[in-house]
Amino acid sequence: MKPPAPTVPAPLAAGHSKDLQSTRNPLIVWLRQDLRLSDNPALASACESGRPVLLVYILPERDSPWFPGEASRWWLHHSLASLDAQLSPLQNRLVLRRGDPARELVSVARDVGAAGVYWNRCYEPRERAVQDQAEYELTKWGHSVHTFDGSLLVDPARFLTKNSTPYQVFTPFWRAACLRDAFSPPVAAPTRIPKPHCWPHGLQLEELELLPGRNWTTGLAACWEPGEAAALKRWREFLESNLETYQATRNLPALAGTSRLSPHLHFGEITPRRVYHDTVRSLAAISCNSMDYENQTACFLSEIGWREFSYYILYHFPRTPHEPLRSSFADFPWESRPNWLRAWQQGMTGYPIVDAGMRELWQTGWMHNRVRMIVASFLTKDLQIHWSEGARWFWDTLVDADLASNTLGWQWASGCGADAAPYFRIFNPVLQSQKFDPQGDYLRRWCPELARLPRKYLHDPGSAPSSELRCAGVKLGRDYPPPIVDHAVRRDLALSKWKNLR
């Protein structure tokens, strides 16, 4: 149900200024990608004031740019429910609204006579514009605004090269970031969040209509538990059990070798600050094998660095969700093949590692990072379909769909972005499969129709003799598709196009 448009009252009369300074007037904390209580600078600062605190989440209208995809909306629904449950023992609750954020914030602030509005800054182009508009409208109506760093380790606005230009290569960016920034430690969760004396109008969670209409969330619910408590639990388990073997296992999709924190980080249920400082503290506590452990932690923290880098690039090059960073790629002759795109989306390309990844994505809302690189290379270089088609599909199906990381990843894979893999680096899906899933456990899990094939042919069923296929109960074209393209032929064509473009 769409809420009625809020009525914006007249500006404050001069005589009302003292009323706004009353300790009964609450502070609003506007939540977005910070659905947590701990290490939330805006919330902590508001609570330290001693005033009542009102936590507000505003869902934009569905026609807003980069409105969350279906898998993300499923996560958001449950994350909001989890946060509201956290607030209940503290005698507080979430106020949910829907509409234009600036207008809704002014409406809430006027309804409760807010003394100020606090928020943690976001860095996507749309969010920056929304923040600017909200600050303008709120100050116009007499409400003070206080903003904080709560999402990233590095503030993109104040971090440039010695030549005052943005970094475009990851390694010097991350090296400089680690040398120049101390990365402030996380702040504790407030033990008390005083509730306001009156509550403004708010929607029920179901009224936000976040849950997908199609019945495909069973797999998501089986794999994920949104919320801050679940994020911290997953992080502790990884830190205690997996970090010491991270470098050796992170590229093997059949193993649980990665942290799987990406959706929790995206929705702000845990911060990169906490991850960074916990990792460094863990390293300091190790007294033996410290060099090996240091390598593991440096490797893991570099992945946090890549997330920082993606936001940095998006901040300085806000056109990249729609246009290649390397402008020469704007003229690349991409192909329009709806049937190929559909086969890729459905995991029916005839290349098992690609199909396994796409099926994992559909069922769980997530895909292993190594496999993400493989399926992206296949779409953009074997099928030569525009990278934005892949980015759009990931946006709708990933629970960790993050505009910055998604854009950087797809432009990296297609060769047109920051620190991009050269276009002539084209993953061979069969060799990648053999290298990173040598036993075929990942393939058998997600392509069970191939499970009886000998390992020799599992990675490339199209090369199997008919006798082996028959023994395994596989008929190509019936049980599993033949390869939709010849990798060697398409590779040569891609290279030819790239040379002509140069």
Out of 30, 74, 235, 306, which one is annotated catalytic?
Answer: 306
**Integer Cα distance of 357 and 10 in angstroms:** 55
Q: Do 193 and 92 touch, CB atoms closer than 8 A? A: yes
Indicate if 412 belongs to the active site: no
Indicate if 25 belongs to the active site: no
Name residues whose C-beta falls within 8 Å of residue 163's C-beta, 6 or more positions apart in sequence: none
Chain-centroid distance, C-alpha 469: 40
Out of 323, 334, 428, 498, which one is annotated catalytic?
Answer: 334
Burial of 470 (0-12, 13-18, 19+ CB in 10 A): exposed
DSSP 336: -
Looking at this protein, which amino acid is placed at residue 293?
Answer: Y
Out of 207, 216, 323, 369, which one is annotated catalytic?
Answer: 369
Q: Which two tokens stand for residue 390?
A: 């892949």
Q: Do 235 and 262 touch, CB atoms closer than 8 A? A: no
Out of 119, 410, 412, 446, which one is annotated catalytic?
Answer: 410
Out of 235, 387, 393, 412, which one is annotated catalytic?
Answer: 387
Indicate if 30 belongs to the active site: no
End-to-end alpha carbon distance in the chain: 53
3-state secondary structure of 29: strand
Closest to 395 measured CA to CA, from 380, 385, 405: 405
The neighbour count for residue 419, using CB atoms within 10 Å, is 18
Indicate if 387 belongs to the active site: yes
Indicate if 306 belongs to the active site: yes
The strand pair at 53-59 and 144-148 is best described as unpaired
**Integer Cα distance of 26 and 22 in angstroms:** 9
Indicate if 344 belongs to the active site: no
> How many CA within 13 A on the CB side of residue 121?
19
3-state secondary structure of 225: coil
Out of 244, 303, 449, 468, which one is annotated catalytic?
Answer: 303
Burial of 150 (0-12, 13-18, 19+ CB in 10 A): buried
**Integer Cα distance of 326 and 420 in angstroms:** 9
Q: Do 174 and 313 touch, CB atoms closer than 8 A? A: no
Q: Starting at the edge strand that comes first in sequence, how are the strands of the sheet with 144-148 ordered?
A: 94-98, 53-59, 27-31, 116-120, 144-148
- Catalytic residue numbers read 303, 306, 334, 369, 387, 410
